[in-house]
Amino acid sequence: MPHFIEDAVVAPIGRCGSLGWEYVPVFVDSQGLHPQTVGALPAQCAALNMSNVQVQTLAVEAALSGDPEMIMQAVAMAPLTSTKCTLGEAREMTAEMLAAQKEWLPQFKGRKLRPAPIISIPADLKPVEAPLDPALAIVHRFGKLAEQKTGE
């Protein structure tokens, strides 16, 4: 009797036309895995997923190649990390993770993150409040511009 898996990751074979690696429903029986075709996602859903799919793809490529810079880029691009950490913090976090997980990541053995230049922020620079969502920052700025009077 076949079993149903709600969503499984399968190689990009065109079952979900708008993504690379695909999450699709799968039936499993004694003959193997049988991914089901679901068609292309609406553009807005595909765009939302792609921010994560691209990070996951980069992480897989980094794991296969053993390139610590590539894994750092995946960490830095992850949606939550990129909103909470600087690139320097992402680099430090990646180095710590690679050291802590070295037993399970032999492909990175003897490979280190390259030194990156430190960008100094002037002491007299004042931070400004910005919404967590970049779209809100844009709307806020355009709203202010729309309210300004033009030279008549």
Domain chopping of the chain, boundaries:
3-118
Per-residue pLDDT at 125 exceeds 80: yes
| 15, 41 contact by CB (below 8 A) | no
DSSP lists the bridge partners of residue 33 as 28
| pLDDT for position 54 | 85
H helix count then E strand count, the chain = 5, 3
Q: How confident is the model at residue 152 (pLDDT cuts 50, 70, 90)?
A: low
Compute CA 152 distance to the chain's CA centroid, rounded to the nearest angstrom: 47
Per-residue pLDDT at 80 exceeds 90: no
Domain 3-118 coded CATH 1.20.1250.20:
no
Which token pair is 151? 């030279």
Higher pLDDT, 106 or 29: 106
Per-residue pLDDT at 39 exceeds 90: no
Exposed/middle/buried for 149, CB within 10 Å: 0-12, 13-18, 19+?
A: exposed
Measured distance CA(55)–CA(78) in Å, rounded = 6
| 44, 18 contact by CB (below 8 A) | no
Token look-up 């994560």 returns 52
The pLDDT tens digits for 110-124 are 999 998 887 788 889
Helix (H, G, I), strand (E, B) or coil at 16: coil
Order of strands across the sheet that contains 3-10 = 3-10, 22-29, 32-35
Q: What is the model's pTM?
A: 0.58
Q: Where are the alpha helices (H) located in the chain, listed in sequence order?
A: 43-65, 68-77, 79-84, 87-100, 134-147
